[in-house]
Amino acid sequence: MSDKSFQPNTEAANRERTKRIWKHIGLGAIAVGLAIVTVFVLYMGR
């Protein structure tokens, strides 16, 4: 058995957190874009 001490990989955890935040921002931006397109298309039919 190795004798290394317990070291949580905070760098990797932070990288995962940053990735998660960007995922939310990306999906939010796409959702807002599609919502604007929907509203505009519906407006054109009035």
Partner 1 sequence: MGLAERISTFWNSFTGNAEFTIAMTVSAIVFAVLYYYLLKFLHDNDSGALMLLFIMSMIIAAGIMTFIPSINSAVFLLVPGVFLIAVLVLYSVEIRRLIWDRKNMRMIDVKHDNLSIDEERAKTCVNEIIKALQNMSKNDVGAIIVLASSNVPNQILDSGVMINSDVSSELIESVFFPKTPLHDGAMIINGTKITAAGCFLPLSQKDNIPKDLGTRHRAGLGVSESLDVVSIIVSEETGIISIARGGQITRYADSEMLKKVLSQYYWQELDGMRK
| Residue 45 interacts with partner 1 (CB under 8 A): yes or no | yes
> What is the closest distance, in whole angstroms, from the C-beta atom of residue 9 to partner 1 in the complex?
4
CA 10 – CA 22 distance, rounded (Å): 18
Q: Among candidates 13, 32, 10, which has minimal Cα distance to 21?
A: 13
For tokens 């604007």, what's the residue? Answer: 36
Nearer to partner 1, 21 or 34 (CB): 34
| Residue 19 interacts with partner 1 (CB under 8 A): yes or no | no
For tokens 């931006």, what's the residue? Answer: 29
Q: Which residues bind partner 1 (CB under 8 A)?
A: 1-2, 4-6, 8-10, 12-13, 16, 23-24, 27-28, 30-32, 34-46
